[in-house]
Amino acid sequence: MRYLESKAKRCRATGHNLYGNAKFDRLKKQYPPGQHGAARKKRSDYALQLMAKQTIRWTYGVNERQLVKLYEEAAKAKAVTGTLLLQLLERRLDNVVYKSGMFAGRDQCRQLVSHGHVLVNGKRMTIASARMQPGDKITFAEKSQKFITAITEGRSQVVPDWLTVDAKTFTITFNMPPEREQIDQTFNEQLLVEYYSR
């Protein structure tokens, strides 16, 4: 219960449904938690940068150390740092499974990976942060097929162009990293970059 409450507080603080679960679309209080949450004050530049960073971190379910490591990798590359950082997050195995549209949220997908239900190119993969490469095929262990069928039944699929999903065989193909316009437009990755480059 405490974990669910903290998720709700995070959604209220950011003003976004961070977890892809419909119950967070129906929050009774659509303002930040706390005594003065309903009266939003103008935030400082630092507060805006911090919230932008936290929004991205909470959405993908990564800890601070993981996010810093990805930021440092993106900052060293000859690319737009913020865009590359988001692409690296999108290429995480748990996120790719989530973006297939077959499952309720990234938390559920992370559990599927860590519990050994997911195969990448025919080999069991239990690392949620594993980075997908173009052409990688994600399937599910044979012993997990009934379970996967049960939890995906009735879900409407909205599949991004950078993935191919065969719902009959539960096969997800990672075609290519998404372009920036194919990633959540509510993210302000430039503020995240400013936060880490202070």
Whether residues 82 and 98 fall in one domain: no
pLDDT, mean over the chain = 88
Q: Looking at residue 53, which CATH number applies to its domain?
A: 1.10.1050.10
The answer to whether residues 172 and 96 touch, using CB atoms and an 8 Å cutoff, is: yes
Q: Looking at residue 166, which CATH number applies to its domain?
A: 3.10.290.10
Whether residues 14 and 71 fall in one domain: yes
Whether residues 46 and 109 fall in one domain: no
Whether residues 79 and 153 fall in one domain: no
Whether residues 60 and 75 fall in one domain: yes
Number of domains into which the chain is organized = 2
Question: What is the rounded distance in angstroms from the CA atom of residue 81 to the CA atom of residue 185?
Answer: 16
Residue 181 has pLDDT above 60, yes or no: yes
Whether residues 127 and 80 fall in one domain: no
Strand duo 118-120 + 137-140: pairing? antiparallel
Whether residues 85 and 98 fall in one domain: no
Whether residues 124 and 166 fall in one domain: yes
Choice between 28 and 12, residue whose per-residue pLDDT is larger: 12
Q: For 181, how many CA atoms within 13 A lie in the half-sphere containing its CB?
A: 1
pLDDT digits (tens, 9 = 90+) for 14-46: 666 666 655 555 555 555 555 555 555 678 999
Segments forming the whole domain that contains residue 137: 93-179
Q: Which residues pair with 120 in a beta bridge?
A: 123, 138
Whether residues 127 and 161 fall in one domain: yes
Question: What is the rounded distance in angstroms from the CA atom of residue 28 to the CA atom of residue 51?
Answer: 21
pLDDT of residue 3: 47
Question: What is the rounded distance in angstroms from the CA atom of residue 81 to the CA atom of residue 89?
Answer: 12
- Read off the pTM: 0.83
pLDDT digits (tens, 9 = 90+) for 93-110: 999 999 999 998 999 999
